[in-house]
């Protein structure tokens, strides 16, 4: 009797590599870096049609044309306002999918083939979420102004596209000061927001303990295995990486907005105390520590956003975090996500002596392994 061979992805294996179905950079930034390679090599030249998008070379312009043509003739009608970036992206998606059979626009991810028609829209939830419905209507009105009513599909189709864009696209950030030497002072400390829509990757379910990791490698996006995964196992990804999770309240609010409610991933759906994300050894003692830890993280988040550079403040915060981490020992399980958040925040934002940072990083690696399993790298 033959035994069926089971194939695996191992940590570090590339499961997927490809370019987004649609990618878009806000108009205000396109004037300052090459739209295709995102670099600043020598003088940039305008696209002769829109007079907005710039390229560092003829080859970059040629390679980018199939993508740029979707918005070229409309860009000059769009204000230099980053708040219109969603409308800019929405218009680009509409131009790419209009008059096409959505079921034929496909991409393979792992062992699944996904089509544009498969992407979630949440249009069935509009009546029960008035704010969301208003957002859809405003987007529909603005995109009509942007690309013209002649390019707009019927309302039900338009709402479906808006839903697919809102709930399946995501934004990645590229620091402009790494793009070259000739960035205006106004943009020196800013980021370029790249909004992308993938078809296959968009169907990966969220998990607070995922088995894959998503990263950009130039213009190519890659999905890596971060633990040993059976090839017939569901692939999951964390929509909100640890760097965002360390800001607890912001993270919770983002989850609620995205999922139209609480996170429903496999781990968060388990009864409280049974998931490794919420394991508590002594719930009575833990309550105070949890509350204080959450408040401390919120304070840290605020200070980081304000870019406070006063050494005494960070010294005080570092000591507070150290005390909190010590108090959690024996009260919260080492697998508790709050402990990981505190350690991650300390490693990423509190600049202490190198020896202390190294010690914290080693602890973080140890707790991640305890929480997520030895197959995580």
Domain boundaries, the chain: 8-239, 247-376
The pLDDT of residue 2 is 46
Check: CB of residue 54 under 8 Å from CB of residue 60.
no
Dist CA 42 CA 259 (whole Å): 44
Dist CA 185 CA 296 (whole Å): 34
The pLDDT of residue 180 is 39
Task: Say if strands 205-206 and 236-237 run parallel, antiparallel, or are unpaired.
Answer: parallel
Q: What are phi and psi of 14, to 5 degrees?
A: -90, 115
Dist CA 279 CA 283 (whole Å): 9
The pLDDT of residue 27 is 77
The pLDDT of residue 129 is 85
Check: CB of residue 51 under 8 Å from CB of residue 37.
no
The pLDDT of residue 228 is 87
Contacts 24+ apart (CB under 8 A), 302-310: 304/349
| Chain segment 50-108, per-residue pLDDT in tens | 888 889 888 989 998 988 888 888 888 787 766 678 898 999 999 999 889 999 999 98
Helices 85-97 & 155-168 angle (0-180, nearest 10): 120
The pLDDT of residue 174 is 62
Q: What does each of the 377 residues of the chain score in pLDDT, given as a tens digit?
A: 444 556 899 888 999 998 889 888 877 777 777 888 777 666 888 888 888 888 988 898 999 898 888 888 888 878 776 667 889 899 999 999 988 999 999 998 888 899 999 998 988 888 888 888 998 999 999 999 999 999 999 999 999 999 999 888 877 766 554 443 333 333 334 556 678 899 988 888 888 778 898 887 666 788 999 888 998 888 988 877 666 666 656 666 666 676 666 677 777 777 666 666 666 777 777 778 878 888 888 888 777 777 777 778 888 888 888 888 888 877 777 667 778 888 888 887 777 778 878 888 888 888 777 766 666 65
Dist CA 218 CA 251 (whole Å): 27
Query: Helices (DSSP H) in the chain: which residue ranges?
Result: 27-30, 58-68, 85-97, 130-147, 155-168, 242-245, 248-259, 283-305, 311-328, 337-349, 354-372
> How many CB atoms within 10 Å of residue 58?
9
The pLDDT of residue 249 is 60
The pLDDT of residue 171 is 76
The pLDDT of residue 15 is 92
The pLDDT of residue 187 is 36
CATH number of 247-376: 1.25.40.10
Q: Measuring CA to CA, which residue among 87, 95, 94 is closest to residue 142? A: 87
Instruction: Please compute Rg for the chain using Cα positions.
Output: 23
DSSP 8-state symbol, 75: G
Dist CA 109 CA 115 (whole Å): 11
């Amino acid at each position: 009797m033959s035994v069926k061979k089971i194939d695996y992805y191992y940590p570090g294996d590339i499961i997927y590599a490809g370019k987004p179905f649609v990618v878009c950079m806000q108009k205000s930034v396109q004037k300052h870096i090459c739209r295709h390679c995102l670099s600043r090599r020598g003088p940039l030249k305008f696209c002769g049609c829109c007079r907005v998008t710039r390229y560092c070379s003829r080859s970059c312009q040629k390679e980018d044309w199939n993508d740029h043509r979707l918005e070229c003739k409309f860009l000059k009608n769009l204000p230099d306002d980053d708040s219109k970036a969603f409308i800019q992206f929405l218009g680009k998606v509409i131009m790419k999918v209009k008059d096409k059979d959505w079921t034929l626009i496909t991409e393979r991810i792992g062992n699944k083939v996904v089509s544009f028609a498969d992407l979630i829209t949440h249009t069935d939830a509009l009546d029960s979420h008035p704010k969301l419905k208003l957002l859809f209507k405003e987007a529909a009105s603005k995109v009509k102004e942007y690309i013209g009513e002649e390019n707009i599909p019927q309302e039900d189709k338009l709402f479906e596209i808006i839903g697919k864009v809102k709930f399946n696209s995501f934004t990645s950030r590229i620091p402009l000061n790494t793009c070259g030497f000739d960035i205006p002072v106004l943009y020196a400390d800013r980021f370029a927001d790249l909004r992308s829509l993938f078809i296959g990757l968009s169907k990966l379910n969220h998990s607070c303990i995922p088995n894959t990791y998503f990263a950009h490698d130039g213009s190519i996006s890659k999905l890596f295995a971060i633990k040993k995964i059976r090839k017939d196992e569901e692939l999951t990804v964390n929509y909100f990486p640890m760097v965002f999770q360390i800001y607890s309240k912001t993270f919770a609010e983002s989850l609620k907005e995205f999922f139209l409610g609480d996170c429903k991933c496999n781990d968060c759906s388990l009864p409280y105390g049974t998931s490794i994300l919420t394991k508590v050894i002594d719930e009575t003692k833990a309550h105070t520590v949890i509350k204080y830890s959450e408040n401390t993280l919120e304070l840290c988040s605020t200070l980081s956003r304000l870019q406070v550079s006063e050494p005494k403040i960070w010294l005080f915060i570092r000591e507070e975090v150290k005390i909190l981490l010590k108090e959690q020992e024996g009260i919260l399980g080492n697998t508790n996500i709050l402990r990981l958040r505190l350690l991650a925040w300390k490693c990423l934002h509190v600049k202490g002596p190198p020896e202390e940072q190294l010690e914290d990083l080693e602890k973080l690696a140890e707790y991640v392994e305890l929480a997520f399993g030895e197959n995580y790298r």
